[in-house]
Chains A and B, each alone.
Chain A
Amino acid sequence: MNTEQEQTVETARSPFSEAFEMFRQNHLAVAGLILLVLIILAGLFGPYLYVADPFDMVWAPFSPPGEEGYLLGTDYLGRDLLAMLIHGARVSILIGLSAAFLTVFIGITVGALAGFYRGITEEILMRITEFFQVLPTLLFSMVIVALFGASLPMITLAIGLVSWPSVARITRAEFLRIRELEYVTAARACGVSNAKLIFKVILPNALPPIIVQAALMVGSAILFEAGLSFLGLTDPNVVSWGQIIGSNREYILDASFTVTVPGLAIFITVLAISLVGDGLNDALNPKLRQR
């Protein structure tokens, strides 16, 4: 009896640990997370486990998967596709994460300032946001990369610069809603400074939809990078999934696996990220939370 009672007593849990619990119960999201972790681990440790230079021409071009011990075959230059795939994972995920980080960083800053201060600040910041939103994203990032060189930081910057407006708008909307709530007035009445109101009072409450957006942003950044490198706008000295597809695209009819394999890698990664993002959305959305 006593132990039963102890189990039913609810322990103090933060809203975020509650969300974690919700997330754990979502099997698809957990599957996505496991997949994502595996992909990241493959990118991190793969090169040490499967030691091979992705730029080495090791065998005849277009040898199909499995031939001569090359698990995924070779590309048009006779390079080991598996080695390329593993090294490409690093680049793709690194770009995905850093571009998403940059996006969220710019987006939160702009959105928070606009939503908190209102007035002229909001006008100016939102007009800038709209300016970036109406730019054709691919074209704009191509221009940046073409002008400043196709290095990884520049590609990350290009992706970040074209995708922050959506985060800024979500953040602003949340700030507009939350700044009118009573606990914000109560915090003001306790003498909290504006900076603290923004970052310690309002932002933590505005985070859930931003986190979801950020997770999805990683996926779309990976796709974006693939798109850019497919068009050849990529650092030729680093392998990325999009680049493998781009460089083999002329041979798609003769050796379709050279394009399919990296394509599948992108697909699976983005799918995993979407599942995680979806799970986060369910977990962090108070309306779906069962109390």
Chain B
Amino acid sequence: MTPLLQVDNLRIELTTRDGVAPVIDDLSLQLNAGETLSFVGESGCGKSMTALALMGLLPEGVGRVASGKILFDGEDLTQASDARLREIRGNEISMIFQEPMTSLNPVYTIGEQIAEVLRRHQNLSKKAAWNKAIELLDAVRIPNPSARVSDYPHQMSGGQRQLVMIAIALACEPKILIADEPTTALDVTVQAQIFDLLRDLGREFGTAIILITHDMGAVADMAERMIVMYAGRKAEAGPVEQVIEHPRHPYTKGLISCVPHLIATLTEERPELTEVAGIVPSLRDFGRDQCLFASRCDRADQQCKSSRPPEIEFDDGQSSACWHAEQL
């Protein structure tokens, strides 16, 4: 089966004051229809950049795809025209954002905003689009949808606004939904609700979901496969359960040990929580020929600091870019 989305050796460069930095460096991935893939990593690891690149929305004049391919249904999105990209966006690939408070246009009612997408991509009449908007609000479990459809965004809570964003994103039953940290700005109960909804609706519409997050707990709940990103490079990839059970990259290991309930149930005695010491290197160091995690890794040796580790594939579908992967 050919994958729905295939990214080959993608390299994205950002122009900064210090020159050009590869914010995504040699990233390859595959996404099958209906599958949930998760990107994990700290802030500044290039997760959001990957998402924007998939949508063709890299910041103008600053970011560009330097090399590599993004094949969606066999079509290379890096070569597609603007008009074609606009056709795809919101219709076949859609996206929800981190900040539900500011992701909706304050001067239109939410009904108008949902209907707008439907009218653009599906040529529905005004009336039909409005009715579909009410249905969608119902589908994302907003109570009393026929009344709330004519609300303005400022009349809704953050959680509700994110539900509306999901309704907009799913309006055209896209093949891929990119969720860029959809719950970062929301409280924990709402988080659970949003994840439930994403999972259910993804299944219902057969939508593949790319979930970008730094919450390992969410990954374990939601995704089938995960990609751990570090400093613009793929650190580790594989099926979620397997990776959590047996991480083959020190960074993944560190991330997992930061989340209490992944390593212990409440009744058991809990191991001490740890942190991954240090911070992500600055953009200017991204292109170096070394393991970028070396400065924070207790296993780092001379080899780690002098050459970039290749991606080592394991038989069970896991892969890791670490010189010591086999020993882990």
Nearest residue, chain A, Cβ from B148: A12
User: Is B195's beta carbon under 8 Å from chain A?
Assistant: no
Compute how far the CA of A15 lies from the CA of B105 in the bound complex, rounded to whole angstroms.
11
Contact across chains for B61 and A201 when beta carbons are under 8 A apart: no
Contact with B along A153-190 (1 / 0, CB 8 A): 00000000000000000000000000001110111111
Q: If the complex has contacts A190-B90, A190-B168, are A12 and B151 also in contact, measured as CB distance less than 8 A? A: yes
**Which residues of A sit under 8 angstroms from B223, Cβ to Cβ?**
none
**Which residues of B sit under 8 angstroms from A16, Cβ to Cβ?**
107
Q: If the complex has contacts A182-B97, A189-B94, A190-B90, are A118 and B103 also in contact, measured as CB distance less than 8 A? A: no
User: Is B165's beta carbon under 8 Å from chain A?
Assistant: yes
User: Is A119's beta carbon under 8 Å from chain B?
Assistant: yes
Compute how far the CA of A201 lies from the CA of B116 in the bound complex, rounded to whole angstroms.
11
User: Is A10's beta carbon under 8 Å from chain B?
Assistant: yes
**Which residues of B sit under 8 angstroms from A119, Cβ to Cβ?**
61
Q: If the complex has contacts A183-B102, A183-B103, A191-B86, are A12 and B57 also in contact, measured as CB distance less than 8 A? A: no
Of the candidates B86, B107, B120, B165, which one forms a contact with A205 in the assembled complex, judged by CB atoms under 8 Å apart?
B107
Compute how far the CA of A6 lies from the CA of B144 in the bound complex, rounded to whole angstroms.
17
Q: Count the B residues whose beta carbon is within 8 Å of the partner chain — how many?
A: 35
Contact with B along A84-122 (1 / 0, CB 8 A): 000000000000000000000000000000000011000
User: Is A5's beta carbon under 8 Å from chain B?
Assistant: no
Nearest residue, chain B, Cβ from A17: B152
Compute how far the CA of A182 lies from the CA of B106 in the bound complex, rounded to whole angstroms.
11
Within 8 A of B (CB), among A105-155: 118-119
Of the candidates B55, B87, B152, which one forms a contact with A14 in the assembled complex, judged by CB atoms under 8 Å apart?
B152
User: Is B20's beta carbon under 8 Å from chain A?
Assistant: no
Of the candidates B86, B95, B104, which one forms a contact with A193 in the assembled complex, judged by CB atoms under 8 Å apart?
B86
A149 CB to closest chain B CB, in angstroms? 43
A226 CB to closest chain B CB, in angstroms? 37
Contact across chains for B89 and A15 when beta carbons are under 8 A apart: no
**Which residues of A sit under 8 angstroms from B295, Cβ to Cβ?**
none
**Which residues of B sit under 8 angstroms from A186, Cβ to Cβ?**
95, 97, 103-104, 165, 168
Compute how far the CA of A182 lies from the CA of B150 in the bound complex, rounded to whole angstroms.
21
Nearest residue, chain A, Cβ from B60: A118
Chain A interface bracket (under 10, 10 to 19, 20 to 34, 35 or more) = 20 to 34
Contact with A along B142-177 (1 / 0, CB 8 A): 000000001110110000000001001000000000
Q: If the complex has contacts A119-B61, A183-B102, A183-B103, are A191 and B109 also in contact, measured as CB distance less than 8 A? A: no
Contact across chains for B95 and A189 when beta carbons are under 8 A apart: yes
User: Is B23's beta carbon under 8 Å from chain A?
Assistant: no
Nearest residue, chain A, Cβ from B171: A190
Contact across chains for A118 and B61 when beta carbons are under 8 A apart: yes
**Which residues of A sit under 8 angstroms from B150, Cβ to Cβ?**
12
Contact with B along A241-257 (1 / 0, CB 8 A): 00000000000000000
Of the candidates B86, B103, B151, which one forms a contact with A182 in the assembled complex, judged by CB atoms under 8 Å apart?
B103
Of the candidates B61, B117, B155, which one forms a contact with A190 in the assembled complex, judged by CB atoms under 8 Å apart?
B117
Q: If the complex has contacts A15-B106, A182-B103, A183-B103, are A192 and B152 also in contact, measured as CB distance less than 8 A? A: no
Of the candidates A14, A15, A191, A192, which one forms a contact with B88 in the assembled complex, judged by CB atoms under 8 Å apart?
A191
**Which residues of B sit under 8 angstroms from A193, Cβ to Cβ?**
86
A sample of 6 more A-B contacts (CB under 8 A), given A15-B106, A187-B105, A189-B90, is A12-B109, A15-B107, A182-B102, A183-B102, A186-B95, A191-B87
The 8 A-B pairs at the shortest CB distance, nearest first, are namely A190-B90, A191-B89, A191-B90, A191-B86, A189-B95, A182-B102, A204-B107, A183-B105
